Structure 1
Amino acid sequence: MPHIKKTIMAVAVTLTACTGTLGAFTAPALADPGGASGPGVRAAAIVNADASIVRSKGVTTVRKIATGQYCIRLDADVNAATTVPVATVRWTSAPWDSSIFVRPDGTESCGDSRDVFVGTGTAAGARDTGFHVIVP
């Protein structure tokens, strides 16, 4: 084999080995069911009234625990107790007199300190409504 072919082959083998080694040092992927990007936020999600996730970042699950009551489970590296979550109802599914309430849960309703609780409704009472939530 000519010298140039041997050199090219050695470089190709080295690059392949380096790529495999560097892959072992990458950070583990966080669970993002919806795959959204949100620069400057630790977690964010667009959630339908049935608790299905349209897209998200830093959110592992959303579950509906009662009419108009949702638990948003954040990734393990986000401490819900130290967050200031913000939520708003989705324009597409909310009546004009909609209300939304949000708080870090602290195990009160959702059962885990990694959860953020969101409550939705109207003046008449609890109502299933889609919403957006961010955790800066």
Structure 2
Amino acid sequence: MLEKRTSMPRIKQTAMAVAVTLASCAGALGAFAVPALADLGGASGPGVRAAAIVNANGFVVRSKGVTGVRKIATGQYCVRLDADINAATTVPVATTQWTGSPWDSSIFVRPDGNIVCGDSRDIFVGTGSAAGARDTGFHVIIP
């Protein structure tokens, strides 16, 4: 006895064809995708382009949108942002870490513009106290 074959409804065939086409396009485009934002320590920061917690020695505890931190002198750090973030147009905000910071701690932050750090993708962070420059851990965000 021959079985009667039922064909897929036309709408279902079209939906399947679209799904297969999209899946193959996504696979082909994956080779050309822009690299994901750097997350040195895997921080989550909804609503911010970049953020980092940095220890006094320049070690990044966790971050989002930050590709590295260099400690260039006592109390002076260069925070390198992802290539898709224009440091010159940012308004960086920083604060000293609660632990290990004296009460009279100061922190200064600015987009570097090649002045100290040597690269336009860097944010400069300076830490210290009334006595002068001092290595201090900090938190920085770039909204």
Amino acid at match of 2:109: V
Gaps of 5+ in 2: 6-18
Equivalent residues, number: 123
SS at match of 1:22: helix
2:76 is aligned, of 69, 91, 97, to 69
**Equivalent AA in structure 1 for residue 37 of structure 2:** L
Determine which of 55, 74, 78 is the counterpart of 1:48. 55
Taking structure 1 as the reference length, what is the TM-score of the superposition?
Answer: 0.83
Deviation per residue, 1:82-132 (Å, 9 max, x gap)? 000000000012110100000000000000010000000000000000000
C-alpha distance in 2 between matches for 1:21 and 1:92: 50
Partner of 1:33: 40
Amino acid across the alignment from 1:130: G
Q: Amino acid of the residue matched to residue 122 of structure 1?
A: S
TM-score (norm 2): 0.79
What is the SS of the residue equivalent to 2:26?
A: helix
Q: 1:53 to 1:20 in 2, by over 3 A?
A: farther
The answer to whether structure 1 residue 89 and structure 2 residue 93 are counterparts is no
Q: Output the CA distance in 2 between the equivalents of 1:29 and 1:51.
A: 23
Share of identical aligned residues, percent?
75
How far is 1:32 from its partner? 1.5
- Secondary structure at the residue paired with 2:52? strand
Which residue of structure 1 aligns with residue 121 of structure 2? 114
Seen in structure 2, the aligned counterparts of structure 1 residues 30 and 125 have a Cα distance that, compared at 3 Å, is: same
CA RMSD of aligned residues (A): 1.9
Corresponding residue of 1:133 = 140
Taking structure 1 as reference, are residues 20 and 124 closer, same or farther at Cα in structure 2, changes over 3 Å only? farther
Structure 1 unaligned segments of length 5 or more: list them.
4-14
Larger Rg: 2
Offset of 1:27 from its aligned partner?
4.4
Task: Kindly indicate whether residue 130 of structure 2 is the aligned counterpart of residue 123 of structure 1.
Answer: yes
